[in-house]
Structure 1
Amino acid sequence: MPTDPSALPGRRALLRTGLATGAATATAGLAAPTPAAAASPVTGAGAPAPAPVPADRTVTLTGRLPTGAADFVHLPVEVPSGVREIAVSYSYDRPAVPAGTPGNSCDIGIFDERGTELGGRGFRGWSGGFRDSFALSAGAATPGYLPGPVNPGTWHVVLGPYQVAPQGLAYTVQVTFRFGRPGPAFTPHYPAERARGRGRAWYRGDCHLHTVHSDGRRLPEEVAAGARAAGLDFIVSTDHNTTSAHGVWGPLAGDDLLVITGEEVTTRNGHWLALGLDPGEFVDWRYRSRDGRFPRFARQVRRSGGLVVPAHPYCPYVACQWKFGYQDADAVEVWNGPWTYDDESAVDTWDAGLATALREGRDWLPALGNSDAHSAPQPIGSPHNVVLADDLSRPAVLDGLRAGRSWIAESAAVGLEFTATGHGRRAGIGERLTVPADAPVDVELTVSGVPGGTARLLTDEGQLHQETLPATGPATVRWRTTASLAAYVRAEVRRPRADGTPGKGNAMGPDLPWGPMAALTNPITLHVQQ
C-alpha cells in the first residue's frame, strides 16, 4: 500500500497557475536561443560551422496553495525550440501542525504541449510524491516518465497537493532546459501476449505489483525474478498513474513468465486496477466520484479487453477507500498483502454482493487477491490468484479472471480443489450447477499446505460447515446441501490463530475471530432447475 497516495483533481475550476496566493512567478526569464550571426565562419570543406549550443536555462516557479486548494494544479511552462532535455525539481514547505492535523504532501508530474485535457494525449509522466526531481528527453526518462519528443509549446508541470496544512503549502519548482540535438528515440520493448503455458490449466499470478516506475523500490528485473521465485506463471504491471514501465518488460518476460501490462489508477476517491491494457495505453486518474467520469475510463479499459478492479477498498489511508460503487467493476480485490481487518471487511462486502447479484439475476463480481508489493521485504505473490485459463496468454488469463474461475492463495505452497456435484452434473470454481430444488449437492474441498488450519464452507446463509485440517498431509472436506438451501457455496481456508487455536465465529476481543486467510475461492453458484 503506498504511503503517499497520488494527489488527484476534483475542483479543477478553483486553481490554476496565477490564482490567489497560489500564483506562480517566473524568477528567471527564458528566451528562445539567439540566432547565429549572419557572417559565420566556414570549415575547411566550405560548410558553415554549426551554431553554438545555448547554455542551459532555468525557470523557477513559486507560489503558495491555501488549504482547500484544487486537487490538481497546472503550472504552464513555455518550452522553446531546440530543447533536447527537460529537467524538473521541486520542493515545498512542511510547517509544524497540531496533532491530528494533516501536514503538507504534494505530488508532481508533467504534461507536454498537447495539453492537459482529461484523457487526452499530453501525459508525459507522474512520480507522485516518490521523487523530488525528474528529466525526460527523446531517448530516455526518469522512471515514471515517458521518453519522447521535446517539442516547443506550452507544457504544464502538474502539482497534486493532496494534503495542505492550515498555514498553506509554499512550493518552488525549477525547470531546466538543456539544448542540443535530440539524439535517437527510445524504442519500447513490450512483453509478448503469450507464454508457453500448459494448455487449459490452473495458472498462478499476481495482478498488483509496483516498481521504481512509481513508488516501489524494486527494479522491473527484480520483480520478474521475484515472481519466478514465488512460483508464478504471470504478473500484471500496475505502477501508479503511469505506463512508463510497459516498454521495459519485453526482455524480462519469457516462455516461463507472462507479463501483462496495466496501471493502478490512483484517484482521490479510491484506487483501481486497470488490468490488461494495450501496451503503452494510459488511463487518466484526475477525477473524483462526484465528477461522474469513472464510467468513461472503465469503458476505455474494457475496449482493450481489460478488467476494472477496485483495489483494497477498505484501506484506511487518505484517498484509498473506494467511493465509486461497483456497478462499473469487473472484479474486486478483497485481499491485499498481509491479511488484516481491511480484508475482512472487503470479503464481507463482497460476500453480501454475491447474494444480491444472484437474487437480481445479474452477474456477480469475482474476488481477486494480490500482494501489492512495493519493496523488500514485502513478498511478491503473497497472495496471488490461481486462475483456470485456456492458455497462458493475456486474453485467456483475463477471461478466466473475468468469469471468476479463480481462487486466491497465500503462496504457491497452498493447493486447493473445490467442486460441487449433483443430479449427475459437476461444477467447479466460478461455474454454475443447475439441479432440481431438492436434489442432493455434494460439495468437496481438498486442501494442502495449511497444516492445522480451519476449512469453512459458506453460502448466502453464512457459514454452514467448519472443519479443522490435520497437522500433516492434504485433507478433504465433504458437505451436502441442495439448491433450495444455498444460492452459492464458497470456501475459505484459515491459518490457526496466533494463540494456536482454531478460529470461532462471533468471537470478540483484540484478535481476529479467525486466523489469517490462507486460501479463498470464488463461489460455485447453485440454481434450481425449472
Structure 2
Amino acid sequence: MCLDGYCEHNADELDADASARAAGTAPGVGRRGLLMAAAGAVGAAAVTLGPVSFASAADGSSSGSTPPAGSQETRTVTGHLETGVADFVYLPVEIPKGVQKIAVSYSYDKPAVPAGTPGNSCDIGVFDQRGTALDSQGFRGWSGGFRTSFEISNGEATPGYLPGPVSVGTWNIVLGPYQVAPQGLNYNVQITLTYGPEGPRFVPTYPPQRAKGRGRAWYRGDCHLHTVYSDGKRLPSEVAAGARAAGLDFMVSTDHNTSSSHGVWGQYSGPDLLIVTGEEITTRNGHWLALGLPAGEWIDWRYRSRDDSFDRFARKVHRSGGLVVPAHPYCPYVACQWKFGYDDADAVEVWNGPWTYDDESAVDTWDARLGEALRSGKKWLPAMGNSDAHSEPQVIGLPHNVVLADDLATDALMDGIRAGRNWIAESSAVQLTFTATGGGRQAGIGEELTLPADAPLDVRLDVSGVPNGTVRFITDEGQMHQESLPASGTGTVVWRTTTSLAAYVRAEVRHPMADGTPGKGNTMGPALQWGPMAALTNPVFLVAQKKG
C-alpha cells in the first residue's frame, strides 16, 4: 500500500531493514515507509515512520539479561520529506530494558532556494512510552530548532527536556518540519542508548507562589521571557538578575512548548522577586502565553486553528487559574500571526519588545475591540505588554506591566491582569496615575465610573519619566485630547468630559519623533506629533446613569 508516494515494507524490505539495524543504520523514509497517524490522535496532521529497534531488544534482552553498564548502542535513521509534509513526523524507538540514558542528535540539509521562498527548518522533541496523543503525559521535551542534540536520564536532561527514567516501551522522536524547501528536506537522526542503573532522580525546586509584597499595591512585572530552556541564550540566573535590575517585582517564565525550566526557578526567586511559571505555546497559527500555570504543567501546541483544539487548552489553563494571552498577534514571521480569535483570551499582548508597526496595529485592533465589547455587552479584553526578551541586547522589562494586585502573589497578579487593572511601561523610570473623577466618585484603570449623562467629570493623568513626551486621551470616538510634556518629563494633564460624550477613556504617553520630524497624518488633519510608546493604560469606563 502506498501513501503519498511512500510504500510500506514488503518481506524483502523487512529483511533489508533487519540487516541495516544489525549494522547500526536504518534505511531512509522511502524504504521505511510512512504510516499515517490515526485521525484525531493529535490535533495537527502527522505521519509515523516505521519503528527503530535495538539488538538488545531483538535478541530477547528486554525480558532477560541486559547489556553491561556503560555499554552503548547507536542507530541512525535517514530520510526525505517532501514539501507539504504533515506538521509532525513521529519516529518510534523501541526502548529495551536497562537503559540509563537516551541521546539523540539530528541534522538536515539546507539547499539554496529562490529569493522569497522559505528554506528548510525542522524542529525536534520527544515523547516517552506513555504516548503521543494530544495532551499526553508522555511529553518529555522540546527544543524546537534551537538545538541539534539532547539527552535524557533519570537525574538530568538537556534544557528543554524533562529528566526521568528511560522506561521500556515505544518512545517517539518528533520532527517538526516548520518549513520545507521546494527540493524537500533530507534528514539524519542518530539515537544512542546507554545501559546501566537509572541513578538518582532529579528533584525540582519550584518557585513559591508568593513573595514579600506591600499589600494592595502596583507591582511591576514582565510576563514573557525566554531562557536556554527553549530558544533563549540567557540562563535562568541571568534572567532573574535582569528582572531585578529592571526594577521588577515579578516575572513569568514562558519558554516555548515546554515546562522543563519550572523545576529550577525556586533557587532564583526570593522575597524581592516573585517568579511565576508559564509557557509560550507556539502553534502553526499563532503564539499564546499561558500565564500562572501550576509548576510542572505543560500545554500542548500541536494543532492549528482549523483543528478546533485551542479552546480545549484554554479551558485547561483556566481550570488551573491561569491566563490565556495571544502574543504579538501581528508578528510578521511564519506561523506567528494570531488566527484563533479572542473569545477564549483573558488579555492580549499589544506591545512586544521595542515599539514597532506591529505594536501599532495591535493597539489599533485592541481599541476597536473595546468598542465592539461595549456594543455587544461582552467582556472587554485587557491589554498587556512584555519584552519577549531572549538574549542580549534585548532588554528585560522593555516593556512590562504595572499591575494593581492585593498581594505580590501569583493568584492576585493574575486577578489584576484579568480585570484589566494594569498599565504598560517601557521601563521603571516611567511613573503614572490615571483616574476619572466626578460627582464625588473616582475610578481608576480597569474600573467604571457611573454618572448622569450630562454630569461633568475630569480625566487626570499624572506622569513622569517621558521628557518632551506627548499625552493622548483616546475614547470610543478616537483621540479627544493631546498635550505636550515639558523637558523634565513630568506633568499633569486634565481633560473634562461627560459619560454622554465618552464611553471609555484610555491614555497613551508617546516619545517625540526620534529625529524631531512630525509623523505623517492623513489629508484631513495635521502631521502627527508623537513617536514610540512610552506608556499605555487600559481604559477607565464611563457609564451613563439610567434615569429613574
| Both proteins in one fold, TM over 0.5 | yes
Instruction: Give 1:528's aligned residue.
Output: 544
Amino acid across the alignment from 2:158: T
Deviation of 1:504 (Å): 6.8
Q: Distance in 1 between matches of 2:168 and 2:52?
A: 20
Whether 1:115 aligns to 2:148 is: no
Looking at structure 2, the residues matched to 473 and 54 of structure 1 have their Cα atoms a distance apart, in angstroms, of 66
> How far apart, in 2, do the equivalents of 1:100 and 1:275 lie?
35
Secondary structure at the counterpart of residue 402 of structure 2: strand
- Deviation of the 1:78 alpha carbon: 0.4
Partner Cα separation in structure 2 for residue 275 and residue 111 of structure 1 = 24
The answer as to whether partners of 1:309 and 1:331 remain within 8 angstroms in 2 is yes
SS at match of 1:245: helix
Q: How much has 1:10 moved relative to structure 2?
A: 6.0
Q: Would you say the 8 A contact 1:30–1:58 is kept in 2? A: no
Partner residue of 2:49 out of 17, 20, 34? 17
Tell me the TM-score normalized by structure 1.
0.92
Q: Report how far residue 394 of structure 1 moved.
A: 0.2
> 1:465 pairs with 481, 485, 493, which one?
481
Letter of the 1:481 partner, please give it.
T
Task: Say if 1:88 and 1:507 are closer, same or farther in 2 by CA, change over 3 A.
Answer: farther
| Count of aligned residue pairs for this structure pair | 502
Deviations along 1:499-525, one digit per CA (max 9) or x if unpaired, are 2256575389xx997300000000001
Pick one of 235, 239, 242 that aligns with 2:251.
235
Q: Distance in 2 between matches of 1:374 and 1:51?
A: 42
Matches within 5 A, 1:476-487: 476-487=492-503
1:276 and 2:292 correspond: yes
What is the aligned partner in structure 1 of residue 26 from structure 2? Answer: none
Match of 1:257 in 2: 273
Determine which of 85, 89, 105 is the counterpart of 1:89: 105
Matched, 1:291 2:307: yes
Counterparts of 1:180-329 in structure 2 under 5 Å? Answer: 180-329=196-345
Matches within 5 A, 1:380-391: 380-391=396-407
Partner in structure 1 of residue 155 of structure 2: 139
* Deviation digits for residues 110-139 of structure 1 (CA, Å, limit 9, x no counterpart): 000000000111100000000000001000
SS at match of 2:311: helix
Distance 1:330 1:416 in 2: 24
Cα pair 2:134 2:300 within 8 Å, conserved: yes
CA contact (8 A) 1:25 1:62 kept: no
Q: After superposition, give the CA deviation of every residue in 1:82-124 in whole Å (9 maximum; x if it has no partner).
A: 0000000000111111111111000000000000000111100
Aligned counterpart, 1:31: 57
Question: How many percent identity over aligned positions?
Answer: 73
Retained in 2: the 8 A contact 1:507–1:513? no
Q: Give the equivalent residue in structure 2 for 1:21.
A: none
Q: Is residue 2:378 matched to residue 1:338? A: no
Q: Are the aligned partners of 1:453 and 1:502 in contact in 2 as well (CA < 8 Å)?
A: no
Q: Per-residue deviation at 1:251?
A: 1.0
- Residue matched to 1:44: none
Partner residue in 2 for 1:408:
424
Contact 2:469 2:489 in 1 (8 A): no
Contact 1:87 1:176 in 2 (8 A): yes
String of CA shifts for 1:112-169, please: whole Å, max 9, x gaps. 0000000111100000000000001000000000001110100000000010011111
Q: 1:16 is matched by which residue type in structure 2?
A: T
**C-alpha distance in 1 between matches for 2:545 and 2:487:** 40
- The residue identity in structure 2 corresponding to 1:330 is D
Query: In the superposition, relative to structure 1, how do residues 469 and 115 fare at CA in structure 2: closer, same or farther (>3 Å)?
Result: same
Match for 2:246: what amino acid?
A
Give distance in 1, aligned partners of 2:517 and 2:442.
34
Secondary structure at 1:16's aligned position in 2? Answer: strand
**Cα gap change, 1:352/1:438 in structure 2, threshold over 3 Å: closer, same or farther?**
same
Give yes or no for contact 2:43–2:134 (8 Å, CA) kept in 1.
Answer: no
Q: TM-score, normalised by structure 2?
A: 0.89
Give how far 1:31 is off.
3.2
CA RMSD in angstroms, aligned pairs only: 2.0
Match of residue 514 from structure 1: 530
Partner of 1:400, secondary structure, is: helix
- More divergent stretch after superposition (493-502 vs 357-366): 493-502
Q: By how many angstroms is 1:289 displaced?
A: 0.2
> Which residue of 1 is the match for residue 8 of structure 2?
none
Provide the residue aligned with 1:6 in structure 2.
none
1:35-54 mapped onto 2 (5 Å cutoff): 52-53=68-69
Cα pair distance change 1:203/1:172, threshold 3 Å? same
- Are the equivalent residues in 1 in contact too, given 2:67–2:195 (CA < 8 A)? no
2: distance between equivalents of 1:61 and 1:288?
Answer: 28
Deviation at 1:315, TM superposition (A): 0.1
For 2:374, the equivalent position in structure 1 comes to: 358
Query: Using a 3 Å threshold, how does the CA distance of structure 1 residues 25 and 172 change in structure 2: closer, same or farther?
Result: farther
Amino acid at match of 2:494: R
Report what 1:395 is aligned to. Answer: 411
User: How many angstroms apart in 2 are the aligned matches of 1:276 and 1:33?
Assistant: 48
Q: Distance in 2 between matches of 1:456 and 1:265?
A: 34
Q: Deviations over 1:367-417 (max 9, x none)?
A: 000000000110100000000000000000000000000000000000011
Matched residue, 1:3: none
Gaps of 5+ in 1: 1-8, 19-23, 41-49
Query: Does the aligned pair in 2 maintain the 1:10–1:72 contact within 8 Å?
Result: no
Write the letter of the residue equivalent to 2:89: V
The code of the aligned residue for 2:183 comes to Q
Structure 1 residue matching 2:176: 3-state secondary structure: strand
Distance in 1, Cα, partners of 2:165 & 2:411:
32
Say whether residues 1:178 and 2:178 are aligned partners: no
**Relative to structure 1, is the Cα distance of residues 429 and 35 closer, same or farther in structure 2, using a 3 angstrom cutoff?**
closer
Residue identity opposite 2:166 in structure 1: V
On the 8 A contact 1:56/1:179 being kept in 2, the answer is yes
- Worse-matched range after superposition: 332-341 or 470-479: 470-479
| Structure-2 residue corresponding to 1:72 | 88
Q: 2:505 is matched with which residue?
A: 489
Distance in 2, matches of 1:96 and 1:16, equals: 28
- Structure 2 residue corresponding to 1:167, chosen from 183, 190, 195: 183
1:456-480, CA deviations, whole angstroms, 9 ceiling, x for partnerless residues? 0000100000011000152000001
Q: 1:158 maps to which residue?
A: 174
1:499 aligns with 2:515: yes
- Cα distance in 2 for partners of 1:476, 1:52 equals 76
Q: Aligned in 2, Cα 1:101/1:29: closer, same or farther, shift over 3 Å?
A: farther
Label 1:507 to 1:413 Cα distance change in 2 as closer, same or farther (>3 A).
farther
- Aligned 8 A contact 2:61 2:96 in 1: no
Query: Do the aligned partners of 2:68 and 2:196 also contact (CA within 8 Å) in 1?
Result: no
> Are the aligned partners of 1:29 and 1:59 in contact in 2 as well (CA < 8 Å)?
no
Residue 359 of structure 1 deviates from its aligned partner by 1.5
Specify every segment of 5 or more residues in structure 2 that has no aligned partner in the other structure, as ranges: 1-41
SS of the aligned residue for 2:415 comes to: helix
Matches within 5 A, 1:362-373: 362-373=378-389
